[in-house]
């Protein structure tokens, strides 16, 4: 039955507001429900941008955009897609971090699904309430480790919503086929207990068997309800992230973006950086400040790339060093978790990062610690003494957690640093040169991977897919980009970038026997045909 009148105006997937034509207004029962003037989408977009730029803060701009998304998704994505470099820092890092902290205070209209520990045994019934049957991409979080901000409980829902917005804006995933999910098992952030506006469960986090049972039930139920869906895990705590990835990766079409997506973007940055620094991958030494899911994920993918380059696994791991909260990860320590043990080297103890730099003598310093300012002047200058072109990757999000700013990295290395960050930094003027720091944003990776996986309905997501995606992304970096200091292509080209990654991933899915649809004669055309555009 065709929806009409107010039902259309209150459905963001159908509502075009004042752009509804005279014919549509007659046919859909909209006459009298809208002002007289028919205003085309490009004029609507100009009006949104006027209000956006007049807003006093980034959080106010975020609110303008989310309110627009809740009433007119086509216009929202038109605005975001046409102005991606301006909008991405607002709808995602760094502004989304503050938006998550304020989520319960900003809450206006529910988006997505909330599944609580009290829903055990009824998850399938809850999923039946979702109004769309053809869900292709799901992003799920339990809110325990939101960016570098820690446990935000149900306030972490801003992350799945933001990630799915990027799936659509960057890779053309139809928003009607996306579903953000929060698994609410409580929170250990007791400040939220005292917040009268907090929307989540006010109880300590449930862990252990009850937690695992809920996640198992969710994965089984969501796959039964949406059998063609890709399930992306996002911002789970370190204790669960690797464990759940191992538990589900061979049973479901799933991946963990913090581990695998971050790894692929970082590897692409490494490959691009080598075109500036010289040398080959097998000669590099990597020191990670932070030994959580992101750092270990990057290291494991680098190890895979090093073995492809001819090193043994043991030799490849020997080129990756870690510093955690207790200093350098070395074999003599007795407090190491299972995931760190493969990278525990026979070396002397170094209690701090500067000592670790002296011990490991890295060519790449990679920050994934969430510790603002961890890359001190002494550390960065020591990297510059060891390397003609030191690679400084300050990847922690949001900007307030970055280990080092671009300006300081360039200043402390006399402009020689090859810099990448997780959050955006503005271009830096240094001694008559304009240096453009490259942002290692996961948005370069997960939308394209997701598009490729869903285009061919792959039954699984493999590490090889992230490897081919990283190499594809690095291959799109031009000599001009490198000359300006950027290790990534410009975000304004993100839909073309995502399409290229998607084709490479889809091709690999077919070669691995994972595709559940026949291979067409023109795979690139099939991928592009899947890309939704935000036009009326």
Q: Classify residue 441 as exposed, middle or buried by CB count within 10 Å of its CB (0-12, 13-18, 19+).
A: buried
* Catalytic residue, candidates 62, 77, 92, 248: 92
Both tokens of 243, joined, read: 């464990």
Asked if 273 and 364 touch (Cβ cutoff 8 Å), the reply is yes
Question: Which residue matches tokens 């301006």?
Answer: 86
Q: If you ran DSSP here, which 8-state letter would residue 492 be given? A: G
- Closest among 294, 267, 199, 296 to 467, alpha carbons compared: 267
163 is catalytic: yes
Question: Which residue matches tokens 């949406």?
Answer: 226
Q: If you ran DSSP here, which 8-state letter would residue 181 be given? A: E
Helix (H, G, I), strand (E, B) or coil at 1: coil
Helix (H, G, I), strand (E, B) or coil at 495: helix
Taking the alpha carbons at both ends of the chain, their separation in whole angstroms is 21
Pair type for strands 178-184 and 254-256: unpaired
167 is catalytic: no
Q: How far apart are CA 531 and CA 80, in angstroms?
A: 15
Q: DSSP alpha helices (H): ranges in 436-490?
A: 446-455, 463-475, 479-483
Q: How far apart are CA 42 and CA 19, in angstroms?
A: 10
* Catalytic residue, candidates 62, 77, 114, 163: 163
Q: How far apart are CA 151 and CA 189, in angstroms?
A: 6
Contacts with 40 (C-beta within 8 Å, 6 or more apart), sequence order: 19
> SS3 letters for 186-252?
CCCCHHHHHCCCCCCCCCCCCCCHHHHHHHHHHHHHHHHHCCCCEEEECCCCHHHHHHHHHHHCCCC
385's enclosing H/E stretch is helix 377-386
Question: What are the catalytic residues?
Answer: 92, 163
């Amino acid at each position: 039955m065709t929806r009409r009148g107010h039902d259309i105006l209150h459905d963001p997937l159908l509502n075009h507001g004042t752009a509804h034509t005279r014919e549509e207004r007659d046919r859909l029962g909209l006459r009298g429900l809208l002002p007289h003037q028919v205003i085309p989408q490009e004029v609507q977009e100009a009006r949104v941008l006027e209000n956006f730029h007049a807003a006093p803060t980034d959080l106010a701009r975020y609110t303008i955009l989310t309110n627009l998304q809740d009433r007119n998704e086509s216009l929202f994505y038109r605005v975001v897609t046409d102005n991606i470099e301006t909008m991405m820092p607002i709808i995602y890092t760094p502004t989304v971090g503050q938006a998550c902290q304020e989520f319960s205070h900003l809450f206006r209209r529910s988006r997505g699904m909330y599944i609580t520990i009290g829903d055990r045994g009824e998850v399938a019934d809850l999923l039946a309430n979702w109004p769309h049957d053809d869900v292709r991409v799901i992003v799920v979080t339990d809110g325990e480790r939101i960016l570098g901000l820690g446990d935000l409980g149900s306030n972490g829902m801003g992350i799945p919503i933001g990630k799915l917005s990027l799936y659509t804006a960057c890779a053309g995933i139809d928003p009607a086929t996306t579903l953000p999910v929060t698994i609410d098992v409580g929170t250990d952030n007791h400040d939220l207990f005292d917040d009268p506006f907090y929307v989540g469960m006010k109880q300590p986090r449930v862990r252990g068997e009850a937690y695992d049972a809920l996640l198992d039930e969710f994965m089984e139920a969501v796959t039964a309800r949406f059998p063609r869906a890709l399930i992306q895990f996002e911002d789970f705590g370190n204790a669960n992230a690797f464990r759940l990835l191992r538990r589900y990766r061979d049973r479901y079409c799933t991946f963990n973006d913090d581990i695998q997506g971050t790894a692929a973007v970082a590897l692409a940055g490494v490959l691009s950086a080598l075109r500036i620094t010289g040398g080959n991958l097998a000669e590099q030494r990597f020191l990670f400040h932070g030994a959580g899911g992101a750092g270990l994920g990057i290291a494991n993918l680098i190890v895979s790339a090093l073995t492809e380059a001819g090193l043994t696994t043991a030799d490849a791991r020997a080129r990756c060093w870690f510093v955690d909260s207790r200093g350098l990860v070395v074999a003599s320590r007795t407090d190491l978790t299972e995931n760190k043990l493969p990278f525990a080297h026979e070396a002397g103890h170094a209690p701090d990062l500067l000592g670790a730099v002296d011990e490991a003598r890295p060519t790449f310093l990679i920050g994934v610690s969430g510790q603002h300012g961890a890359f001190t002047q002494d550390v960065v200058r020591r990297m510059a003494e060891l390397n003609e072109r030191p690679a400084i990757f300050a990847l922690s999000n949001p900007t307030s957690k970055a280990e080092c700013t671009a300006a300081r990295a360039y200043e402390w290395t006399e402009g020689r640093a090859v810099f990448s960050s997780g959050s955006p930094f503005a271009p830096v003027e240094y001694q008559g040169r304009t240096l453009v720091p490259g942002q290692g944003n996961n948005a370069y990776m997960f939308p394209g991977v997701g598009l490729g996986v869903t285009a061919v309905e792959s039954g699984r997501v493999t590490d090889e897919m992230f490897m081919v995606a990283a190499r594809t992304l690095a291959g799109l970096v031009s000599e001009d980009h490198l000359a300006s200091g950027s290790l990534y292509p410009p975000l304004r080209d993100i839909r073309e970038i995502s399409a290229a990654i998607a084709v490479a991933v889809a091709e690999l899915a077919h070669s691995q026997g994972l595709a559940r649809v026949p291979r067409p004669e023109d795979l690139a055309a099939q991928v592009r045909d899947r890309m939704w555009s935000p036009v009326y």
